[in-house]
Amino acid sequence: MPPAELKGLLLTHPAIADSAVIGIEDEESGKVPKAFIVIRKGEAPTAEEIMEIVAGQLATFKQIRQVQFADSIPKNASGKILRRVLIKQERETS
């Protein structure tokens, strides 16, 4: 499933203000989806709750495997998500 579709699905949750999805390396599957989530002020969903949003609507291989909470999602001047910045962050923390 394309990252934009997963993002749209995540944004249906009322506690999620913004999100982005990237593929991360996985020994078994090659790549799996990881979500970066910005939470609305006053909300506190868990990573498990967020993964359940997707789990109930998609096949297992399309489901988000990791969630990372963020203060903001990096975007360019026109509002496009800078996935390369998120991928770089992911590599630096792995």
- The single residue listed with the structure tokens 């970066």 is 36
pLDDT tens readout for residues 13-55: 999 999 999 999 888 878 889 999 999 999 999 999 999 888 8
Amino acid at 59: A
87, pLDDT greater than 70 = yes
State residue 1's pLDDT score. 62
CB 70 within 8 A of CB 47: no
Q: Is 23 exposed, middle or buried (0-12, 13-18, 19+ CB in 10 A)?
A: middle
Question: Domains (ranges, CATH) in the chain?
Answer: 3-93 (3.30.300.30)
State the first-to-last Cα distance of the chain, in angstroms, to the nearest integer: 24
With 0.75 as the threshold, say if the pTM is over it: yes
